[in-house]
Structure 1
Amino acid sequence: MSMKKTMIISAALATVAAGLAVTDSAEARAKKEKCYGISLAGHNDCSAGPGTSCAGTSKKDYQTNAWKLVPQGTCTTIESPTSPTGFGQLAAFKEVKK
């Protein structure tokens, strides 16, 4: 096989592999949900609320506007001492002082 054909085939395979990687991560994200109030300081996922800019920028444990991606359907079963229900929430909330 010529070098040119080898390069074309390699480029095509790389393109297909990149497309599959994007699809896989999109599928993985689709089976997850944002869960607020469960992350420890500095361990939130991207785009938390005011006071944070992106992943790993939450300032305190169980910050009410910081979220983590969790498997869909599990958020409200994860403990959160700042939450009104004592469990993670599907939206940002005001902290309950105990």
Structure 2
Amino acid sequence: MNNQKIASAAISSILALGVLTATSANAVPNQPTSWEKCAGIAKAGKNDCGALNGSHNCAGQATKNNDASEWVYVPKGTCEKITGGVVKAVKPAKK
């Protein structure tokens, strides 16, 4: 390979890397500014805090998957993207 082909290949690689970096950087959301209490999506034993129906008051006590009264915090705008997710409350993120 001559020097011109090597230089051309190097420049093409750098440009392609720049495009990939710019594209993937936009795919990752920013730090949340608010959280949603999203009900109906928690796995058994993986809920955040007490059940909405008052059946218990602590995290990790959900007894079945996707119970409508069990919830987890997710970044605002995420709950409506999840099948079965229902927004029950929104709170600001800690700074």
What interval of TM-score do these two structures reach, taking the shorter chain for normalisation?
Answer: 0.5 to 0.7
Paired position in structure 2 for 1:74: 78
Q: Structure 2: how far apart are the matches of 1:79 and 1:36?
A: 11
1:64 and 2:83 matched:
no
C-alpha deviation, 1:79, in angstroms: 1.9
Query: Larger strand proportion, structure 1 or 2?
Result: 2
Q: Which has the greater radius of gyration?
A: 2
Of residues 87, 91, 95, the one that matches 1:90 is: 87
Q: For 1:53, what is the secondary structure of its paired residue?
A: coil
Which structure is higher in RCO with an 8 Å CA cutoff and minimum separation 6?
2
Percent identity over the alignment is 40
Aligned residues: 57
Structure 2 unaligned blocks of 5 or more = 1-30, 89-95
Superposition TM-score, scaled by structure 2 size: 0.53
4+ aligned runs moved over 4 Å, structure 1:
none
Report matched runs for 1:1-98 at 5 Å.
31-49=34-52, 50-80=54-84, 88-91=85-88
